[in-house]
Amino acid sequence: MREYNQFYINGEWVDPVTAKSLDVINPANESVCGHIAIGSGKDVDNAVAAARTAFVSFGQTSREERIALLEAIIAAYQNNWNDLAAAVTEEMGAPTQLSTAAQVGSGFGHFKTALNVLKGYEFEETMGNSQVVKEPIGVCGLITPWNWPLNQIACKVAPAIATGCTMILKPSEVAPLSAYIFSKIMHEAGVPAGVYNMINGDGPGVGTSMSSHRDIDMMSFTGSTRAGTLVAQNAAPSVKRVTQELGGKSANIMLDDVDVEAAVARSVMTMFTNTGQSCNAPSRLLVPAAKMDQVAAVAGKVAESVVVGDPTAEGTTMGPVVSDVQFNKIQDLIQKGIDEGATLVTGGTGKPEGINAGYFVKPTIFADVDNNMTIAREEIFGPVLTILPYNSVDEAIAIANDTPYGLAGYIQGDDAEQINYVARRIRAGNININGKSGDQNTPFGGFKQSGNGREWGEHGFSDYLEVKAISGL
């Protein structure tokens, strides 16, 4: 049992102003695996005061000082790799292999990338008769989700450190264990007091206090579109910068010349990675209408090869979804797909055969889906793939864009000219072709209700910087 009943503020582990705790549930067995303290507005005030004081000096540090600090964080992160992986598996159910490689590895990669970017980043340039300098924006509020906990923490904390900002992190209260270990890493690395602060809490108690706080200069939020709009509304009176990485309902267009077996296998396994709990998951597979039956048959066969079970067991390829709330939401949406007339290829409601405990969902495939159906419109955030037919490439593009979201798009085909035609017309921030995605230098973010701003790599520095023009020197 993990007991994480303190917050990290001003370089110390401190008790919350008001004692209040929350159970952390292991989604693989529904048992209580830990307790965390839940903060309040007064805890936020204390953390903001520490960050504001620390910014006076940290905002003036040299590039070399911040390089040394990032190197120390990277070393401490490596020393705690296995502890981080175990925490991710316990808190949100990712299979051990996924936690060890992708979940922990992505966080590590963002720090390595930020270090490399910082070494050559141009903070000053001459434009006309002015010197244009980029300075740290100040105190940053960082709110992160449960689905890729370390990836989202690192892609915010790393550029904040690199640019000279100070910060308050509120990790998800659903999966907070790895954030606590991450905070220990920051302490071990010698991050100056007040530069990095961490408070556990829920949205109403801590998230609202952060986004409305007049001494926080910038909010970076990753999560649902509903919650992201609340952050923006709360931040508006203080005119702080708000960046958001929100929901998605990404289209995956299979062109007519593609190898169906290979493309479908790749599509299904990508969709089921992390139990479908990724905002950029390719959840709408668009296929030529004449190939619907063939695609559905292949997709069903691939889905049935997925090994669902204990995330700590060898051979498991898909664990549970994170909570009972998510489980019930997904069950309702699967039932809506059935009720609205989509063809259930495999999966469906209920838990997989032989599993009685844990929030496990059957890998589910729907075919003959219309883009007006609920399962094609709403972000399911679970292992549910919808297959939609199209009759022309332009119709496929129209279907892909017929969504309030615009985070990612996927294209599979052999004709480079046609692929480029489609890629330029999909209204989304990231386009992945034939299974190839960007690396951690690639800007990540979306169009429309998928958010604003960009994270990762050099583009990830921009939102943490203010631009100042000095003329007449």
Same domain for 351 and 204: no
Give the model's pLDDT for residue 473: 87
Same domain for 257 and 173: no
| Residues annotated catalytic, as ranges | 245, 279
Instruction: From 291, 67, 240, select the one nearest 138 (Cα to Cα).
Output: 240
Same domain for 229 and 264: no
Same domain for 346 and 321: yes
Decide if 296 contacts 290 (C-beta within 8 A). no
Strands (E), 186-263: 196-198, 218-222, 241-245, 251-254
Q: What is the tally of structural domains in the chain?
A: 2
pLDDT digits (tens, 9 = 90+) for 121-180: 999 999 999 999 999 999 999 999 999 999 999 999 999 999 999 999 999 999 999 999
Provide the whole-model pTM. 0.97
Max Cα–Cα distance, the chain, nearest Å:
75
Same domain for 265 and 238: no
Which domain range does residue 158 map to? 2-246+450-471
Give the model's pLDDT for residue 191: 98
Q: Which helix (H) or strand (E) holds 227?
A: helix 225-235
Instruction: From 369, 360, 362, 304, select the one nearest 336 (Cα to Cα).
Output: 369
Same domain for 154 and 31: yes
The whole-angstrom separation of Cα 432 and Cα 451 is 19
Give the model's pLDDT for residue 210: 98
* CATH code for the domain in which residue 43 is found: 3.40.605.10
Same domain for 395 and 467: no
Paired with 13 in beta bridges are 8
Same domain for 436 and 462: no
Average pLDDT, the chain: 98
Give the model's pLDDT for residue 425: 98
Amino acid at position 386, single letter: T
Same domain for 277 and 187: no
* CATH code for the domain in which residue 353 is found: 3.40.309.10
pLDDT digits (tens, 9 = 90+) for 422-440: 999 999 999 999 999 999 9
Instruction: From 110, 112, 89, select the one nearest 99 (Cα to Cα).
Output: 89
Q: Which helix (H) or strand (E) holds 64?
A: helix 63-79
The whole-angstrom separation of Cα 180 and Cα 417 is 48
Same domain for 241 and 281: no
Paired with 367 in beta bridges are 343
Which residue ranges in the chain fall short of pLDDT 70? none
Angle subtended at Cα 150 by Cα 161 and Cα 9, rounded to the nearest 5 degrees: 55
pLDDT digits (tens, 9 = 90+) for 2-39: 999 999 999 999 999 999 999 999 999 999 999 999 99
Same domain for 167 and 276: no
Decide if 460 contacts 114 (C-beta within 8 A). yes
Same domain for 169 and 208: yes
